[in-house]
Structure 1
Amino acid sequence: MYLTVTAMAKPSLKASPKGLQQAHEAFTKREFTQESLAAQLGCNRSVISKFFNGENVWEKYFTTICEALEIDYQKIVYGYLAPSAQNLVEKVRTQVKELTQELCGTMRILDMTQPIELSQIYTDVNILEKLTALRRKTIDELLKECGYDNFDRFGLGKVVEKRLLGVKAVEKYKKLIVLGKPGSGKTTFLRYLAVQCNQGIFQPHLVPIFIPLKYFAEDPTQPSLLEYIRQQYSGCDVTEEELIELFKQGSALILLDGLDEVSAEYQEHTLKEVRSFSRIYFDNHFVIACRIAAWEYTFDKFTEVEIADFDDKQINEFANNWFKNKSVKSEKFIKYLNKNNRIYQLAVTPLLLTLLCLVFEESASLPNSRSESYHEGLDVLLKKWDAKRGIHRDQIYQKLSLPRKKDLLRQIAYSTFEKEKYFFTPLEVKLILKKYIEKISNFDSDSNISQGDIEELLKAMEAQHGIIIERAKGIYSFSHLTFHEYFVAKRIVSLIPQTSDEELHQDEDFKNNDKFPNSEADNKLISNQKLQKDQEELQKLLKHLKDRKWREIFLLVAEILLDASNLFRLMREKADQILEGKDNLQKYLKLVNKKSQSLLQLFQIKDNLEAKKFSAAIRAFYFDIDYDIDPDRQLCFLLEPRTKYLTCGNCFTRILKEINSLEEGIIHAQKYDDMTDEASIKVINAASADEIMKIAVNYGIKSKKIRQDNREELERIMSDFFEVNNTMQENEERLKHGADKVREVASKKLLGDQLLGVSFKDFNEEDQQSLKDYYYVNKLLIDCLLQTDCLVTFQVREEILETLFLPKIL
């Protein structure tokens, strides 16, 4: 009998699929409605609804409903067993309980120093009933699904298909094949099913049997699957006769893990045994787990499903479980993820999310080096994940060394990204593979690489590491945009000569040159020629400087280069060229610089470098004083946090009465902080410009200094957007929306000509775009300089800060 112990200790039953069909027929025949049946039985309509939805219903109601329908409840109940059979199940469950808990109750992966209880960390998985690789989607449809229009939030892994809770899928399908990418949580899911069944929470009428197929396949005695199971449970005093009887009556939950981990030499035997066992003991419940790209087999009567990537809710749940009772709080981790979209995209894979949690737990942060974070994630997929579990895969891909594999991935990444092909066809990938393989000496150079070899190589790449995967039928992509971009950056850097002058002395190109250096002048020639080599490759990259889709590539290249000074100089030159020859825009820069100089006097700054940074930050602020380009003020906040007072003062100037200049507004913002005891509502502690808008409006309303013509509108914004408590993400979205509305009000009240002398809207569309591009490139330059773990000379750093947002001729 399928019993579930609820909080009130009431046993419940539910109908089997066939039983539901019988119940529906009886229901229709007697012309019941759910309302009339509920009224007849004296229960809520929801009870009747649950019964016909195949959900658990209190045993008393279940049997009463069956009586009203005139059907035998024992014949339709899910998992009903005769008393003698139930006694056997309970006996065997008791005997194997300790072993099952030992095999499946804990997990230890990656760099964990000790195993942890599965129940402490497990997060429910979702199932896609239609495999992603079998979806018939066009590339345009996939781009739309993934958010191509907003490339900052673009994610290759977004799936819009309906999801089913994992345990529901196991209940729905008696024979199930669970497929998934490497690290998607297949083994953890099967272990969870075993533990839940072992504890009588899930399928309590069954006995869980968990078998790692790798160990079965490599057993030197080559036993049958039945014999292997008997051996594994012989220490539990379960006899072969009891196991056979258990299987005959269909009372086992057979969990077969890691079919893809079975070596080629053992595959035939393993497949034969699994097929034979599932046919002979067909009435049992089976779940087989395998990597999706390694699935090449056919199992009659089995349904194939796929484990979906984690969604937002699952990521939050996993993090909350992981950081529970630890000094590092999950809220901080989740907040970090939400502000780093590329890192967030890695977190949809349970294995990589575990890696992120391990690293974050150690230092309450992730490494400053984004390239190091991506490298570590790739290292797990390319090497550690299989190696730590002792798995050796023996296909054509094994002939490639790890450096060769990485180089091949760089080739694919660069060739596709440059053409804006974030999704690509098998033919496009195979052409790259063929050209690359033909150049490798350890492949047979005398024979042609067959089409079959190339197809096998592509499948092996997908199956073994899951870095390139099939997104829809005949359409591939990198599993994460993060990895695609990382390999592009690595490819670019690999083409830039990063050698010392001493190493260049040994270069054959120089040795064969009549001007081979032997003096200081010759050494200077070497440096110039090395610089020229660098520039040739960097100029190719700089063609994409204004393309927002290449932003992450620039950040990664800056960080990976041994010295990014030359890159930064070239980026600064390209930025200046955007406004070069445009007298009206140069005049605008002069005005920005002039206005900025007066504001610097409000802050007492003695250090020369600090003054340069602050001057640059004020120029960045004035450049977009009317919120037209960067309302979030990301650039000026990055350069100098005290520009938060400029942002707040600017808002005060526009919405408060009796403040007639930006200088007065800034002073007022500083005084507000001096008078405010609570750190969380100080301007200088605000996490964003949106929060500053909220602080400014809240202060204005409470102090009754809001301009009369603004009052009603700002009070409504305060009520609708700034005083609502929801989830973290909802709060941020609502805060952003409210702050934008405040900016709309503010921008109407004090036009640019009163603060700067000219407004952004006074320029034509072409000039406006030039100003936007100029700001974007300068912001990218500062992000590369200050937001990455780059190496750059002090001289170049100082030059950039000193000349940022300055006209060509002052």
Structure 2
Amino acid sequence: MLEKQLVQQMGFPKDFLDQLADEKGLTDKEKEVFLSLFGDDLSRIQITLQLNISEGSLKEHLRGIYKKFQIGGKGPGKESRLKDYLTNRYQRWQAENSNSSLFIENTDVSIQTLVKKTRQQIQPYIQECCGTMRVLDMTQPIELGKIYTNVNILEKITGRTWREIAQLQEKVSRENFERWGRGTVKEERIPGIEAAEKFSKLMILGKPGAGKTTFLKHLAIQCIGGAFQAERVPVFITLKDFADIKEHPNLLEYLQRLLKGYSNEMEDISTLTSLLKAGKFFVLLDGLDEVREIDSSRILREIKQLSQQFPQNQFVITCRIAAKEYTFEKFTEVEVADFNEEQIANFSQKWFHSKNDPVKAERFLEKLKQDEPILELATNPLLLTLLCLVFENVGSFPSNRAELYEIGLDVLLKTWDVNRNIERDQVYKGLSLKRKEDLLSRIAHTTFQAGDYFFKKREIERYISEYIQNLPNAKTDPKALELDSEAVLKSIEAQHGLLVERARNIYSFSHLTFHEYLTARKIVTNCNQYDINDPTLRELVSHITEPNWREVFLLTVQMLDSADSFLLNLKTSIDLLVQNNEKVQKFLLWLDHKADSIKIRSSHNLSIRIFYFCAEFIYSFRIFYEAQLIEMVKEFHVDIQKEFHVDIQCEPELSLDHELYLLNQFRDSSSFLPKDAIITSIDDICKHYTFSSDIKIKLQIIKTKLKNLLREFPDPHQEQEKFQKLWASVRPIWCEDIRSLMILWRNIGHNWKFNNEQKKLLQQYYDANLLLVECLNSDCYVSREVRQEIEETLLLPIEEIEKWKSRRKDEH
């Protein structure tokens, strides 16, 4: 019985299978499949890869094999029945062949016993080095199993695909700006564990902080726990530790040194080599990029030698994507994909549940979804961990996002390596940390100004060359500068991951958030923030109508020591947008007069002005069809007390006007339910509000006229098409009656007759003012005088702004 189990687990001898294949008349391809399945004990996936055949071809060959062996039936039982047949034949074959030896059996049994014993002995070691993680400012390690989130793998390396910039930049143009659309060409992903099952020699590449080491640790824990490669012994080797040993042992000696501390059997090198020859090791080699350049060739040679000497074992290596320069011939290269939203949610929920704070987990995700630039950073597991740490301590994200991004940048430029005691080779000695930031800021600003989120390799090398040639002791020879600029680019990509190759020879910043932050940093360091005519700030303000610059505005205002000049510059620019449009100025004048006309009020004048500004955009201009008025008004959360809101219940005139705006909205309805909905609305207005008798008479006339018409209308439930047709015939007349009453009674509902160009201008004016208010209310320093000027002149026509300035001048 034991013999049968061993044979079925380890596979049958080749000469036995060869003899049987010839006896049954298997074709060459059937014989290859037969030997791989029952001799090498390969899985079906491994067979398709080794023989370079499709799954369909494999099934066809298996059908031929089963037929020739006369194995009937359906399903997976056929393979089991053939194994039983082979076992019985093998026992007879052994008896017939005097060359068979119990030595092979005993060796197989001893190998299996040794594997089992070694796995038990090294389990504490695997748990110790792979069972926890601790990064950044974590005060204590956290159990890996509590927070591990399954990674996805790209089988195609993104930086090696052939793409055009136009394909990559499709959804991040100035006209069609979409943060998550960047790099919209998506490669197919597979689960990480599936890639490890599929390939026996695997090189896992990824950006800094992508989760390569964590995934490798997860594989080790899964293996020692029996969930993956349970028949093998996992060994986790940090290549930097191996390279730093003074005696420079070879990898086999190091492996023995590592194991004999836990297993007595490993004192004898022959025992280790026996297990390696039997293919019983799962070798995990972490951080090839962390090996110093002086040791690099030696370590590469050691890995190559061990993997070629003992190819039966499974090997997985991790390396930063841009740092990989050597190609291991037998290894398949894959790339760790960025986290998607599902993985972000999964990780963060596990993180806060491990801290016994599930409520904070939900709040974290809510806040993250409200802030796309921060959400974008969370696609990197390391930066997601940083965000979790910040949120865990503060309960929110910092109001000054620029400070958060500065911390994130510092993590990638310095902290991540320092915390792990990794010293990188400094490619360009004159390029200090600050100079790297300056260089990246210059590249960011230049490319962002040009609207380029993706750029050719030669362009970025030119920017680097222009910068480093001015450094102390810089080379002046053009060829030497070219070589240096290429090396610096590779260094920034490999060591910090802030510039990444999105397609062959096409680069971008790793996150649009960092592109924006570094652009703002360049603006702040270049400008004279106290000069209202500063050209750098004026140039930024010129982009006020471009949606892709919004985040740069918000970051710049937060980074300035004083935002006064910048905000006044911005306010002036917004007012100038509509200065020469007579119709828009007329509308703004009406808006000011309407706000002043509200007699009973508890809200600030600006709040009321904003209310009617937003109402006209929805109900009169119909620029925002689906918008909710109160939600739009709340976006302009600005007033003297910083508690802006309009409570319609406390503002009877605003409440009445809101009801009338809603009533007038029936002009856009092709049908409505119930049939008497308009009549009910008019009755509610008459019931809840006080007005003069002549207005009441006019309302009653309109109501009666409509009531008589609707009496002839069919039920919209039953005959919707007929109802729509009848309503379309009377709607213009009724709507004009309502609109005339609104103008006469409340001075609202005017037909402004804006053309499409003017509506586009009004949309830009709206967006620009909303951005100004966001800047004003961000974590920036602005004087009380400047804040007051902006609040009191917001949404005013030019002539009223000039009057306000004149009054203020007289007061001073």
Determine if the TM-score, normalized by the shorter chain, exceeds 0.5: yes
Pair 164,667 (structure 1): closer, same or farther in 2 beyond 3 Å: farther
Q: Deviations over 1:239-259 (max 9, x none)?
A: 133322111101111000000
Query: Among 255, 273, 292, which residue is 1:244 paired with?
Result: 273
Measure the CA separation in 1 of the matches of 2:594 and 2:88. Answer: 87
Q: After the TM superposition, which residues 208-247 of structure 1 pair with which residues of structure 2 at under 5 Å, given as runs?
A: 208-237=234-263, 238-239=265-266, 240-247=269-276
Query: Among 145, 161, 175, which residue is 2:187 paired with?
Result: 161
Q: After the TM superposition, which residues 392-431 of structure 1 pair with which residues of structure 2 at under 5 Å, given as runs?
A: 392-431=423-462
Q: Deviations over 1:444-472 (max 9, x none)?
A: 56897432221111101100100011000
Q: Deviations over 1:205-245 (max 9, x none)?
A: 11111000000000011101011111112221241333221
Once the 2 structures are TM-superposed, how far is the Cα of residue 154 of structure 1 from its aligned partner? 4.3
Once the 2 structures are TM-superposed, how far is the Cα of residue 27 of structure 1 from its aligned partner? 4.0
Asked if residue 494 in structure 1 is aligned to residue 525 in structure 2, the reply is yes
Query: Among 602, 605, 617, which residue is 1:604 paired with?
Result: 602
Look up the SS of the partner of 2:261 in the other structure: helix
Measure the CA separation in 1 of the matches of 2:420 and 2:714. Answer: 65
Asked if residue 772 in structure 1 is aligned to residue 789 in structure 2, the reply is no
Q: Which residue of 1 aligns with 2:348?
A: 319
Are 2:349 and 2:358, in contact at CA under 8 Å, matched by a contact in 1?
no
Once the 2 structures are TM-superposed, how far is the Cα of residue 711 of structure 1 from its aligned partner? 10
The CA RMSD over aligned residues, in Å, is 3.6
- The TM-score normalised by the length of structure 2 is 0.75
Q: Which residue of 2 aligns with 1:558?
A: 557
Q: After the TM superposition, which residues 45-84 of structure 1 pair with which residues of structure 2 at under 5 Å, given as runs?
A: 48=75, 63-64=80-81, 82-84=108-110
Measure the CA separation in 2 of the matches of 1:308 and 1:96. Answer: 31
Question: Which amino acid counterpart does residue 760 of structure 2 have in structure 1?
Answer: Q
Measure the CA separation in 2 of the matches of 1:411 and 1:341. Answer: 24
Q: Deviations over 1:65-90 (max 9, x none)?
A: 8679999999xxxxxx9544322221
Asked if residue 472 in structure 1 is aligned to residue 471 in structure 2, the reply is no
Q: Which residue of 2 aligns with 1:624?
A: 617
Are 1:246 and 1:252, in contact at CA under 8 Å, matched by a contact in 2?
yes
Q: Which residue of 2 aligns with 1:531?
A: 531
Measure the CA separation in 1 of the matches of 2:193 and 2:736. Answer: 56
Query: Among 219, 227, 232, which residue is 1:193 paired with?
Result: 219
Measure the CA separation in 1 of the matches of 2:171 and 2:84. Answer: 49
Look up the SS of the partner of 2:798 in the other structure: coil
Measure the CA separation in 1 of the matches of 2:510 and 2:240. Answer: 26
Measure the CA separation in 2 of the matches of 1:310 and 1:752. Answer: 57
Once the 2 structures are TM-superposed, how far is the Cα of residue 762 of structure 1 from its aligned partner? 2.3
Pair 545,279 (structure 1): closer, same or farther in 2 beyond 3 Å: same
Query: Among 636, 639, 644, which residue is 1:639 paired with?
Result: 636
Question: Which amino acid counterpart does residue 206 of structure 2 have in structure 1?
Answer: G
Could you tell me which runs of 5 or more consecutive residues in structure 1 were left unpaired when the two chains were aligned. Answer: 4-11, 42-47, 52-59, 75-80, 499-529, 606-610, 669-706, 717-746
Once the 2 structures are TM-superposed, how far is the Cα of residue 201 of structure 1 from its aligned partner? 0.8
Question: Which amino acid counterpart does residue 546 of structure 2 have in structure 1?
Answer: D
Moved more, 545-554 or 175-184: 545-554
Query: Among 773, 777, 781, which residue is 1:791 paired with?
Result: 781
Are 2:154 and 2:334, in contact at CA under 8 Å, matched by a contact in 1?
yes
Question: Which amino acid counterpart does residue 243 of structure 2 have in structure 1?
Answer: A
Look up the SS of the partner of 1:659 in the other structure: helix
Question: Which amino acid counterpart does residue 659 of structure 1 have in structure 2?
Answer: S
Once the 2 structures are TM-superposed, how far is the Cα of residue 479 of structure 1 from its aligned partner? 0.5
Q: After the TM superposition, which residues 283-322 of structure 1 pair with which residues of structure 2 at under 5 Å, given as runs?
A: 283-322=312-351
Question: Which amino acid counterpart does residue 795 of structure 1 have in structure 2?
Answer: E
Once the 2 structures are TM-superposed, how far is the Cα of residue 664 of structure 1 from its aligned partner? 8.5
Once the 2 structures are TM-superposed, how far is the Cα of residue 665 of structure 1 from its aligned partner? 11
Are 1:23 and 1:69, in contact at CA under 8 Å, matched by a contact in 2?
no
Q: After the TM superposition, which residues 681-760 of structure 1 pair with which residues of structure 2 at under 5 Å, given as runs?
A: 754=742, 757=748
Measure the CA separation in 2 of the matches of 1:206 and 1:544. Answer: 61
Measure the CA separation in 1 of the matches of 2:456 and 2:210. Answer: 24
Once the 2 structures are TM-superposed, how far is the Cα of residue 300 of structure 1 from its aligned partner? 1.4
Asked if residue 659 in structure 1 is aligned to residue 681 in structure 2, the reply is yes
Pair 464,227 (structure 1): closer, same or farther in 2 beyond 3 Å: same
Once the 2 structures are TM-superposed, how far is the Cα of residue 334 of structure 1 from its aligned partner? 1.3
Measure the CA separation in 1 of the matches of 2:334 and 2:328. Answer: 13
Pair 370,88 (structure 1): closer, same or farther in 2 beyond 3 Å: same
Q: Deviations over 1:39-83 (max 9, x none)?
A: x45xxxxxx4xx6xxxxxxxx786258679999999xxxxxx954
Question: Which amino acid counterpart does residue 440 of structure 1 have in structure 2?
Answer: L
Question: Which amino acid counterpart does residue 633 of structure 2 have in structure 1?
Answer: C
Look up the SS of the partner of 2:534 in the other structure: helix
Pair 285,467 (structure 1): closer, same or farther in 2 beyond 3 Å: same
Are 2:660 and 2:742, in contact at CA under 8 Å, matched by a contact in 1?
no
Query: Among 461, 485, 501, which residue is 2:516 paired with?
Result: 485
Could you tell me which runs of 5 or more consecutive residues in structure 2 were left unpaired when the two chains were aligned. Answer: 1-5, 10-40, 49-54, 92-106, 638-643, 649-653, 667-676, 691-709, 721-734, 801-812
Measure the CA separation in 2 of the matches of 1:192 and 1:785. Answer: 47
Question: Which amino acid counterpart does residue 128 of structure 1 have in structure 2?
Answer: L
Are 2:154 and 2:189, in contact at CA under 8 Å, matched by a contact in 1?
yes
Identity of aligned residues (%): 39
Moved more, 209-218 or 396-405: 396-405
Once the 2 structures are TM-superposed, how far is the Cα of residue 306 of structure 1 from its aligned partner? 0.4
Measure the CA separation in 2 of the matches of 1:760 and 1:135. Answer: 55
Are 2:591 and 2:609, in contact at CA under 8 Å, matched by a contact in 1?
no
Look up the SS of the partner of 1:208 in the other structure: strand
Pair 751,644 (structure 1): closer, same or farther in 2 beyond 3 Å: farther
Q: Deviations over 1:771-800 (max 9, x none)?
A: 1111111111011111x2111011111111
Q: Deviations over 1:414-433 (max 9, x none)?
A: 11111111100011111111
Q: Deviations over 1:252-301 (max 9, x none)?
A: 11000000000011111111111111110111000000000000002111
Measure the CA separation in 1 of the matches of 2:372 and 2:610. Answer: 25
Question: Which amino acid counterpart does residue 63 of structure 1 have in structure 2?
Answer: S
- The TM-score normalised by the length of structure 1 is 0.76
Are 1:147 and 1:154, in contact at CA under 8 Å, matched by a contact in 2?
no
Are 2:180 and 2:376, in contact at CA under 8 Å, matched by a contact in 1?
no
Measure the CA separation in 2 of the matches of 1:660 and 1:488. Answer: 55
Pair 157,480 (structure 1): closer, same or farther in 2 beyond 3 Å: farther
Q: Which residue of 2 aligns with 1:374?
A: 405
Once the 2 structures are TM-superposed, how far is the Cα of residue 598 of structure 1 from its aligned partner? 4.9
Once the 2 structures are TM-superposed, how far is the Cα of residue 591 of structure 1 from its aligned partner? 2.1
Query: Among 170, 183, 188, which residue is 2:196 paired with?
Result: 170
Asked if residue 87 in structure 1 is aligned to residue 80 in structure 2, the reply is no
Measure the CA separation in 2 of the matches of 1:104 and 1:72. Answer: 45
Q: Which residue of 1 aligns with 2:798?
A: 808
Pair 650,538 (structure 1): closer, same or farther in 2 beyond 3 Å: farther
Q: Which residue of 2 aligns with 1:134?
A: 160
Are 2:153 and 2:189, in contact at CA under 8 Å, matched by a contact in 1?
yes
Are 1:600 and 1:615, in contact at CA under 8 Å, matched by a contact in 2?
no
Number of matched pairs: 666
Measure the CA separation in 2 of the matches of 1:753 and 1:465. Answer: 66
Pair 632,208 (structure 1): closer, same or farther in 2 beyond 3 Å: farther
Q: Which residue of 1 aligns with 2:753?
A: 762
Once the 2 structures are TM-superposed, how far is the Cα of residue 652 of structure 1 from its aligned partner? 5.7
Question: Which amino acid counterpart does residue 604 of structure 1 have in structure 2?
Answer: S
